[in-house]
Amino acid sequence: MRASFPAVAGAAAVAVLLTACGSGGSSSPSPGGTGQAGGAADQVKVGVIPIVDVAPIYLGAKKGFFEKRNIKVSMDSGQGGAAVVPGVVSGQFQFGFSNVTSLITARSKGVPLKIVAAGNSSTGEDGKDFSGVVVKADSPIRSAKDLAGKTVSINTLKNIGDTTVRQSVKKAGGDPDSVKFVELAFPDMPAAVEEGRVDAAWVVEPFLTIAKQQGDRVIASNLVDTFPKLQISTYFTSEQLAKSNPGLVKRFTEAMDESLTYAQEHPDEARDILGSYTKIDPAVAKELTPPLWKTGINKDSLEMLAALAAEEKLTDQKLDIKQLLP
């Protein structure tokens, strides 16, 4: 679960990705179905992460939204988030799921990626989001301002976690540069807070619900503080596939849009599908707050994350997001 927001940064990682791009791996579906009526269905593999955020694609597959567009879709979540981007670039996956900051970072280093569909967004409601910063019930920390000088756990350093938590601290009038961030896997965070190993933790569902069930308090909704209904993640493909098979990309996008809309309109079914690909306790699934599953790419949200990535020195300069857009 630590790979919920995978980081793709650093010279070594980028070198691997760029090498994979030229490795001769095909980005074409296998076998090469035409996608036309009467033709063989396109075999499409999508690299995902076993988290709440990707419920729509599993629900859409179950409902036949891909099949009716002559796509036979399968999801691969066995290798973790760090393997998704290089898997898409090399052609192991035709499409992948990743947080936007990781895609911005990768694209800024020359990794040839294109966003094709929305993934998930913040609900935009303070205190009622699928993400939040939690502290123990008896903690003296009452707001994000009090995080100055404190230790906060996030799942991946120098990514969307620390970037947005600092925005909460700044908005509350605290010193964002004085916050100490430590890397910790999401499943380990509720216990770390309870045992006092960290002062606070940034968690997403289902760990937000688990933390609240043990009595923790939410003192900031960092995604909400950063941007209204911040777009957190998207589905993407390689630039090679986008150019060589635009018809497939178009049909995949249409299927994802229908899946996102259905999941948003049928939250109980989205909760139920979680048991098919995660080990989330059904009781927790029933209580958790799902993210916003909205179609379309929020360009203003991407612009904000690109600006923050540059401000946080995750990229050398602000990325022109047109490089990521279809």
Residue 83 confidence (pLDDT) = 84
pLDDT value for 35? 53
Q: Which domain holds residue 219?
A: 131-226
Give pLDDT, residue 82.
73
Distance (Å, whole) CA 130 – CA 206: 8
Q: Read off the tokens for 149.
A: 């000088």
Tokens representing residue 137 in the block: 């019930």
Residue listed under structure tokens 């430590």: 182
Longest dimension (CA), the chain: 65
Looking at the fold, whether 135 and 216 belong to one and the same domain comes out as yes
Q: State the DSSP string of 187-240.
A: GGHHHHHHTTSSSEEEEETTHHHHHHHTT-EEEE-HHHHHSTT-EEEEEEEEHH
Q: Are residues 27 and 110 in the same domain?
A: yes
Distance CA 311, CA 318 (A): 8
CA distances from 227 to 122, 123, 224, 300 (A): 9, 11, 6, 9
Same structural domain, 220 and 257: no
Which CATH number do you get for residue 211? 3.40.190.10
**Nearest by Cα to 161 from 198, 125, 202:** 202
Domain closes at, from 197, 226, 255: 226
Distance CA 138, CA 79 (A): 38
* Judgement on whether residues 152 and 190 belong to the same structural domain of the protein: yes
- Does one domain contain both 70 and 181? no
Q: Which of 175, 194, 226 is the last residue of a domain?
A: 226
Please report the pLDDT score of residue 18 as a whole number.
Answer: 42
Q: Which of 175, 191, 226 finishes a domain? A: 226
pLDDT for the residue 39: 79
Q: Are 203 and 81 contained in the same domain?
A: no
Whole-prediction pTM:
0.87
Half-sphere exposure of 222 (CA within 13 A, CB side): 26
My answer on whether 216 and 68 are in the same domain is: no
* 117 and 236 belong to one structural domain: yes
Q: Is 134 helix (H, G, I), strand (E, B) or coil?
A: strand
Number of domains in the chain: 2
Let me know whether 105 and 254 are in one domain.
yes
Q: Residue 265 class from Cβ within 10 Å (0-12 exposed, 13-18 middle, 19+ buried)?
A: exposed
251 and 102 assigned to the same domain: yes
Together in a domain, 255 and 235: yes
Q: Splitting the chain (326 residues) into consecutive groups of 10 residues, what average pLDDT does each group show?
A: 40 40 42 55 96 97 98 88 89 96 96 98 96 97 98 94 97 97 95 97 96 97 96 97 97 98 97 96 95 97 97 96 95
- If one counts every other C-beta atom within 10 angstroms of the C-beta of residue 182, the result is 13
Considering the domain architecture, whether residues 222 and 290 belong to the same structural domain is answered as no
- The label of the residue with tokens 């933390």 reads 211
